Homo-oligomer: A and B are copies of this chain.
């Protein structure tokens, strides 16, 4: 059961002018489930993305990067093809050929060139992509294309997700009402610098290509790069932002304008909500944990401390057990790799409860208070380093028996 997360009501997921979506049951890994999604873009849509930094990055990631460099991504991208079941990662040259074949076939059906199609895959690593099933499924996707299919699209990209993840919000920017609708998938292998995570956000806002690119990087850094389920960074992570420019507004072209700031913040808000949904549906998650680190010298040291806490299996199992065994948090702060950290100055809070100060347990701390907070489904760990002005937040979940079960049985 995900933590305080329910499936979005499809009626709340507004279409984005210039985007249609088609879903198929292509039988890629298992029969009878939605596993192929085509996102069709009208001409002129602007697209930018960020991808995994994993050196064993998947074939579709390589092909996406190539295609974006071959065409004008401010006009040329006409379709995105996403399959689940097989990740097409760790598949060498043959994997690249299969990813390219997906694009070639889609281009033949839709018109245009292969470089105008971007491929995405998620699923098991090191298995060959059954490209013939994707090719066979594409006409079904095209026949199904419609604007009002974001809910189904969110379902079609799920793997071990238990709930589809979709967010839609409207904003007033430059006098126009713009719509931002996004979907994401991911539940394990989630880690900063992305994860087995796919995110697609579309908006009808009119924004220049450089600013679409800038906004996607900004939003990723504050959303998908701030979540961790198990510390594993996937081979396939991709987060794409599509701006169709169909809203009745002047194009945003100035990076210093208030309009750009409003657009960037709106995209970031949607991305954060999607990213947090991934953690809430983390494999086996029973608790949603926010780790805040404040008063650090710089963002880097805050992030190191937050990740040490968020990655510790000992801390994550204590959250699972609702056991305020909070010394484990001090231990994680201590091994975060900050050589000159003076532990005497650090304060540790669990929600509003002061747990530790002056290098040890606070005299004010009562186990009953820690116990009360630990039993909540949402908990904030706050570490005050008291040596600077930087701060960061990381979102994670606990480590439960179900995480082990899910990952022990994933392929069966």
Contacts from A to B (Cβ < 8 Å): 53-57, 87, 89-95, 124-128, 188-189, 191, 193, 230-235, 311-314, 317-318, 320-321, 323, 325-328, 330-336, 338, 341, 343-344, 356, 358-361, 399-401, 403-405, 407-412
Q: How far is the CA of A320 from the CA of B406 in the complex (A)?
A: 12
Instruction: Decide: A89 near B331, CB < 8 A? Known: A404-B399, A408-B318.
Output: yes
Specify the main secondary structure of chain A where it touches its partner: loop
The interface residues of chain B lying within 8 Å CB-to-CB of A126 are 326-327, 330, 356, 360-361
User: What are the residues of chain B within 8 A of A358 when measuring CB–CB?
Assistant: 92-93
Among A90, A233, A317, A361: residue with most chain B CB under 10 A: A90
Cross-chain contact B90 with A360 (CB below 8 angstroms):
yes
The verdict on A411 contacting B323 (CB below 8 Å), with A233-B331, A331-B234, A335-B53 known, is yes
Contact B313 A125 (CB under 8 A): no
Residues of B within 8 A of A331 (CB): 54, 56, 89-90, 125, 189, 232-235
Contact A56-B333, Cβ < 8 Å, known A126-B327, A314-B407: yes
How far is B344's CA from A91's CA once the two chains are assembled, in angstroms? Answer: 10
- Cβ of A45 to closest chain B Cβ, rounded Å: 31
CB of A299, distance to nearest CB on chain B (Å): 19
Closest to A91 in B: B360
User: Ordered nearest first, which 6 A-B pairs have the shortest CB separation?
Assistant: A125-B327, A92-B360, A56-B334, A126-B327, A321-B408, A233-B335
How far, in whole Å, are A215 and B54 apart by their CA atoms in the complex?
Answer: 39
Q: Which of B94, B189, B343 is close to A55, meaning CB atoms less than 8 Å apart?
A: B343
Q: Bound state CA distance, A231 and B128, in angstroms?
A: 33
- Chain B residues with Cβ under 8 A from A403's Cβ? 313, 317, 404
Q: Please determine whether B333 and A55 come into contact, CB atoms closer than 8 angstroms.
A: yes
A247 to B403, CA, bound (A): 53
**Contact of A320 with B230 at beta-carbon distance under 8 Å, contacts A89-B331, A127-B327, A343-B56 already known:** no
Distance, CA A341 to CA B53, complexed state (A): 12
A-B contacts, 13 of them at CB < 8 A, read A55-B333, A90-B330, A93-B359, A125-B331, A188-B314, A189-B331, A230-B313, A313-B403, A317-B408, A325-B411, A400-B404, A401-B405, A403-B404
